[in-house]
Amino acid sequence: MSLSQTTRLNRRSLLTGTVASFAALPVLSIATPTNSQTQGVLAMEKVTFTIDATPLVGNVYATSRTGKRPAVAIIGPMTYQKEQAPTKYAKRLAALGFVTLAYDSRYRGESGGEPRAWENPFHKVEDLKAAVAYLKSREDVDTDQVSILAICQGSSIAFRAAAELDGVHALATIAGHYRDHEGDIEWLTEEGYAARMAQGQAAKEVFETTGEVQYIKGVDQTDMNVGMPGDFVWEWYQPWADRGQWENRYAVMSDADLLSYDSIGAAKALTAPWLMIHGDYNFLPNAARRHMAAVPSTTKTKTIWDDTPHLAYYDQPDAIDRATHEVAEWFWKA
**CATH number for the domain that contains residue 129:** 3.40.50.1820
Which helix H or strand E contains 188, and what residues bound it? helix 181-188
Which helix H or strand E contains 93, and what residues bound it? helix 85-95
CA-nearest of 61, 132, 130 to 90 is 61
Entry pTM: 0.90
Q: Give the pLDDT mean for 195-224.
A: 97
- Asked whether residue 38 carries a pLDDT value surpassing 90, the answer given is no
> Residues 124-142: pLDDT tens digits?
999 999 999 999 999 999 9
Eight-class DSSP state of 310: T
CA-nearest of 56, 277, 268 to 149 is 277
Q: What Rg value do the Cα atoms of the chain yield, rounded? A: 19
CA distances to 61, 157, 220 from 267, in Å: 29, 11, 33
Q: Would you say residue 188 lies in a domain?
A: no
Containing domain of residue 143, as a range? 9-180+262-333
Q: Would you say residue 193 lies in a domain?
A: no
Q: Would you say residue 78 lies in a domain?
A: yes
Q: Would you say residue 1 lies in a domain?
A: no
Q: Would you say residue 242 lies in a domain?
A: no
CA distances to 171, 270, 271, 278, 302 from 299, in Å: 11, 7, 5, 19, 10
> Residues 87-122: pLDDT tens digits?
999 999 999 999 999 999 999 999 999 999 999 999
Q: Would you say residue 220 lies in a domain?
A: no
Q: Give the pLDDT mean for 200-207.
A: 98
Eight-class DSSP state of 73: E
Task: Count how many domains the chain has.
Answer: 1
Name which residue leads in pLDDT, 224 or 214.
214
Region of poorest pLDDT, from 32-41, 129-138, 148-157, 278-287: 32-41
Q: Give the pLDDT mean for 242-269.
A: 97
Sign of the CA dihedral with 41 first, then 144, 301, and 3 last: positive
What are 72's strand-pairing partners?
100, 147
Contact status, residue 116 vs residue 247, Cβ threshold 8 Å: yes
- Asked whether residue 59 carries a pLDDT value surpassing 70, the answer given is yes
